[in-house]
Amino acid sequence: MNKKVEILAMGIDLANDYTQIAVIDNPDSNESKGIPASRGNTDCLIHSVLYISPEGTWHIGDDAVKRAEMDGGECAEDIVNIMLSGGELQYNGSVYSAYELMCGYLNACIEHVRFLYVDISIKEICITAVDNPKVFTDNAYKALGTLGFLKENIRVISHSEAFIYYTCAQRREIWVNDVCLMDFTKDNFTFYILTTKRNSNPKVINVELTDYTQMFNIEKLSDPKEAEKYDVKLYNVILEKFRKRVFSTVFLTGRGFNAFSWPEQSMEELLNKRHVFKGYNLFVKGAVIAADKHNKTERNEFLFECPGRTKVDVGIFIMHDNKNMNLTLSKAGTNWHEAGATVECILDDINRFTVVITDPVSMFNRNISIVLPTFPGRPNKATRVRIALAYTDDTNMVIRVDDMGFGEFFKPSGVNLVKNINVSQLF
Amino acid sequence: MSGLILALKRSDRAYYISESDIKIYSLEELQYYIYNNLYLVTESFFTPGLADYIINVLDLPVLGKKLEVMIKKGVSYKDMVSLVLSYGSYYTVGEVRDAEADMRETGDLSLAEKLKSKGDNLVRNNKYIQARKVYEALLSQLDKGSKNEDFVATVWNNLGFTYMGLFLYEEGYYCYKMAADCKLSQPILDRLAISALLSENKDLIEDVEKQYGVSSDDLDEYRVYIEKSIRKIRVEPKILNNFSDFKLRTKENMESYYLRVDAVIEDWKQSYREEVN
């Protein structure tokens, strides 16, 4: 693979056991390629371990294990969990913050690809993980910015979102009905159900999750008797979840399904009039599809309803062209980190304004009145304010109002207001 | 119609208005400047440079190109003012009409006359602090050699009236003195006497007696006039209505009473803040 390439889109799936990287390097094709764990290897699972050499270079995966062996050192593990929680890594007498860890690890991932391709330029990049909490997402944006990526070319999405992107890119028969995904790793067993509502307005793709981590432990699968018990448990879960629903496809991901030969009874049930696929790379392929913004698929008509996506439309009442109107600041179904907006307005004889929050499916709305702070005395229409909306996760938003003064006539006072709104408490 | 007006683009690049040594960065600031300085706006205000700024910096090609055409055709500045003020949602149709009426009234006046007219309008609307600033600015310009004594006397008289409106009787007296120096008349004399008496300053009262020949009997008549005026003001409907807001109404609870009183005080505070700014 020693050739110069332009990587149009790259996806990185960060899981605590394995990291996976996939790229699109062909403008004429939407097909993504998995990046192997090492040269000459077809396996694309990169162990999520880290080794920092005495010279200060960061190594991941098999390379980290080899270097650690040569140097007589040890690899650091559990690093993705540290990044997700915003904790710290204590390694070889040094302390690394979640941001430093993210920066070094992502750089090592990109260097891994560069090592295999020799010379690359990467246009767009998307990181996916089991969840995308604020600290993880903020650190990812900051780290990738430091590594030279423009903000508009970065995305950070949850596994639920990656699942949607992947499914929508498949042929229609795969998702004509509901789609099930079971992800079984050393850290979790998660059951996802993707439902498409084509007849609603707007059209909605919904993903619901159920966590069965307490019921299934990957360590026990090496014992055939335990594996048999798990097969029975899984069979009962399937009967319960699949009752009164029609599934066209089932995806099975993670080591739990791919590295062990089970579950026989459950597989027989799953294969009954359904497509069943096993593999490791669903999330990373979903990520690379999400990164490729030029990819126009049917998914663009749908509103995504899943963890990591906003639940409501947010607007404010304004005057424009001498008409009162609801100006939408944020649409439901947007990735929460990308869902912010900023608008500048001039106050005309008011001391409060109204934020309108609408459920896009039921169309119920809640009006929240925000009382403006007392600005220094100025004539009417001589105060310009900046109203900024940002989300801190998929259900909590912050609205900030800043006084911008009015040009050279009235300087900004520094007065501002911050209002937190929890959407889940409104409906 | 009150509310949030969606603002247009604010640029980092300024447009410099030399008439007032001020920079503007958005269309709303330009509109605000024009609306509040109509007396300063003439054909020379609208230049190709301004049109270019509107097109290329403020990204408003529709407005900018219309202005460009008007400038080339030599259209009256009043039409250009209407065009600019009407764009967007910053000023209402009613406010633009008021500006047009203002321009019709003062359009052919000299700058000094326009300034005086602006001050007089402010006094009519009880904006005494702003009126004082306008008259003082005008007088500092007229100081530089105006030969129209009648006009100067009127401006000093109006400034005196403004000070009286602010209950600054001594300052009012001195303004009336300046008016009398330009041109003494009976109305000016009356105002000198009344302002001296209201100030209760013995030096001013002595000055009005000695300097202007006002006798003690005359001063007594002015005192009676002042008393009658005060009694009359106390029973004016406008004043009674204001005080009625402070009376507790029958069956009214205290919470509602305090809310009503607070609203009146808040109104007065807001008017004061607008005035001093």
pLDDT in tens, B75-98: 999 999 999 999 999 999 999 999
The alpha carbons of chain B give a radius of gyration, in whole angstroms, of: 24
Least CB–CB distance from A377: residue in B24, B90, B277: B277
Contact between chains at A407 and B5 (C-beta distance less than 8 A): no
What pLDDT, on the 0 to 100 scale, is given for residue B117? 84
Contact between chains at B10 and A384 (C-beta distance less than 8 A): yes
Contact between chains at A406 and B90 (C-beta distance less than 8 A): no
Contact between chains at A409 and B32 (C-beta distance less than 8 A): yes
Q: Percent of chain B scored above 70 by pLDDT?
A: 95
Angle at A126 between CA A124 and CA A132, to 5 degrees: 150
Test mutation, A408, A411, A413, A417, chain B, max B CBs within 10 A: A408
Q: Residue B50 carries which DSSP code?
A: H
Distance to chain B for A322, nearest Cα, Å: 5
Phi/psi at A398 (5° precision): -125, 130
Q: Closest-CA residue in chain A for B30?
A: A407
Q: Residue A35 carries which DSSP code?
A: P
Burial of A286 from C-beta contacts in 10 A (0-12 / 13-18 / 19+): buried
Q: How many CA atoms lie within 13 A of B118 on its CB side?
A: 26
Stretch B244-263: mean pLDDT = 82
In A321-424 the beta strands, taken as DSSP E runs, fall at 323-330, 341-348, 352-358, 365-371, 384-391, 396-403, 416-422
Cα–Cα distance between B103 and B39 in angstroms, integer? 8
- What string of pLDDT tens digits covers the 427 residues of chain A? 456 678 889 999 999 999 999 998 887 777 888 999 988 788 899 999 999 999 999 999 999 999 999 999 999 999 999 999 999 999 989 999 999 999 999 999 999 988 777 678 898 999 999 988 999 999 999 999 999 999 999 999 999 999 999 999 999 999 999 999 999 999 999 999 999 988 877 889 999 999 999 999 998 898 888 899 999 999 999 999 998 899 999 999 999 998 888 888 899 999 988 999 999 999 999 999 999 876 655 566 889 999 999 999 999 999 887 788 999 999 999 999 999 999 999 999 888 999 999 999 888 999 999 999 888 778 899 999 999 999 999 999 999 999 999 999 999 999 999 999 999 988 7
Contact between chains at A378 and B23 (C-beta distance less than 8 A): no
Query: Hey, where are the domains in chain B?
Result: 10-106, 111-220, 237-276
Least CB–CB distance from B6: residue in A343, A407, A410: A343
* Cis before A36? omega within 30: no
A260-276: burial string, b at 16+ Cβ within 10 Å, e else: eebbeebbebbeeebbe
What pLDDT, on the 0 to 100 scale, is given for residue A263? 85
The domains located in chain A, with CATH, are 5-156 (3.30.420.40), 163-284 (3.30.420), 313-425 (2.60.34)
In A153-226 the beta strands, taken as DSSP E runs, fall at 154-158, 178-184, 189-197, 203-211
Least CB–CB distance from B2: residue in A348, A376, A404: A348
Residue B255: count of CB within 10 angstroms of its CB = 8
Contact between chains at A377 and B22 (C-beta distance less than 8 A): no
Query: For the domain B111-220, what is the CATH superfamily, name and number?
Result: Tetratricopeptide repeat domain (1.25.40.10)
Q: Percent of chain B scored above 90 by pLDDT?
A: 58
Question: At what angle are helices B61-73 and B77-86 packed, to 10 degrees?
Answer: 170
Least CB–CB distance from A409: residue in B4, B29, B274: B29
Contact between chains at A345 and B26 (C-beta distance less than 8 A): no
Residue B214 pLDDT exceeds 80: yes
Which of A364, A420, A425, A422 lies closest to A395 in space, CA to CA?
Answer: A422
**DSSP run (H or E) holding A50:** strand A50-52
Cα–Cα distance between A263 and A145 in angstroms, integer? 44
Judge whether A62 and A69 are in contact, CB under 8 Å. Answer: no
Contact between chains at A353 and B3 (C-beta distance less than 8 A): yes
Q: Closest-CA residue in chain B for A316?
A: B4
Which of A112, A108, A179, A195 lies closest to A143 in space, CA to CA?
Answer: A108
On whether any CB of chain A is under 8 Å from the CB of B254, the answer is: no
On whether any CB of chain A is under 8 Å from the CB of B274, the answer is: yes
Least CB–CB distance from A322: residue in B4, B89, B272: B89
Test mutation, A346, A370, A380, chain B, max B CBs within 10 A: A346
pTM across the whole model: 0.76
Burial of B13 from C-beta contacts in 10 A (0-12 / 13-18 / 19+): exposed
On whether any CB of chain A is under 8 Å from the CB of B3, the answer is: yes
What pLDDT, on the 0 to 100 scale, is given for residue A208? 94
Distance to chain B for A413, nearest Cα, Å: 14
At B121-160, the pLDDT tens digits run: 888 878 898 899 989 989 988 865 556 888 999 999 999 9
Q: Which of 91-110 (B) contact A at CB < 8 A? A: 92-93
Residue B241 pLDDT exceeds 80: no
Judge whether B226 and B193 are in contact, CB under 8 Å. Answer: no
Contact between chains at B24 and A321 (C-beta distance less than 8 A): no
On whether any CB of chain A is under 8 Å from the CB of B247, the answer is: no
What pLDDT, on the 0 to 100 scale, is given for residue B150? 87
Q: Which of 30-69 (B) contact A at CB < 8 A? A: 32-33
Q: Are strands A247-253 and A384-391 parallel, antiparallel or unpaired?
A: unpaired
Least CB–CB distance from A377: residue in B32, B33, B273: B273
What pLDDT, on the 0 to 100 scale, is given for residue B200? 94
Distance to chain B for A390, nearest Cα, Å: 19
Token readout for A172 is 């229609």
Distance to chain A for B22, nearest Cα, Å: 7
Contact between chains at B3 and A384 (C-beta distance less than 8 A): no
Distance to chain A for B16, nearest Cα, Å: 11
Q: Closest-CA residue in chain B for A350?
A: B3
Residues of B in contact with A406 (CB under 8 A): 28-29, 32
Least CB–CB distance from B4: residue in A322, A345, A408: A345
Q: Are strands A396-403 and A416-422 parallel, antiparallel or unpaired?
A: antiparallel
Which residues neighbour A368 within 8 Å (Cβ) at sequence distance 6 or greater?
A: A354, A355, A357, A419, A421
What pLDDT, on the 0 to 100 scale, is given for residue A362? 86
Residue A197: count of CB within 10 angstroms of its CB = 15
Cα–Cα distance between A246 and A384 in angstroms, integer? 55
Test mutation, A325, A345, A348, chain B, max B CBs within 10 A: A348
Instruction: State the alpha helices, DSSP H only, in A271-320.
Output: 282-291
Q: Closest-CA residue in chain B for A319?
A: B5
What is the 3 state secondary structure string of B189-245?
Answer: HHHHHHHHHHHCCHHHHHHHHHHHCCCHHHHHHHHHHHHHHHHHHHCCHHHHHHHHC
What pLDDT, on the 0 to 100 scale, is given for residue B149? 84
Distance to chain B for A342, nearest Cα, Å: 12
Token readout for A250 is 């089932």
Residues of B in contact with A356 (CB under 8 A): none
DSSP, collapsed to helix, strand or coil, labels residue B267 as helix
Contact between chains at A348 and B272 (C-beta distance less than 8 A): no
Least CB–CB distance from B90: residue in A344, A346, A408: A346
Q: Closest-CA residue in chain A for B6?
A: A345
Question: Predicted ipTM?
Answer: 0.79
Size of interface A-B (CB pairs under 8 A): 91
On whether any CB of chain A is under 8 Å from the CB of B276, the answer is: yes
Distance to chain B for A323, nearest Cα, Å: 9
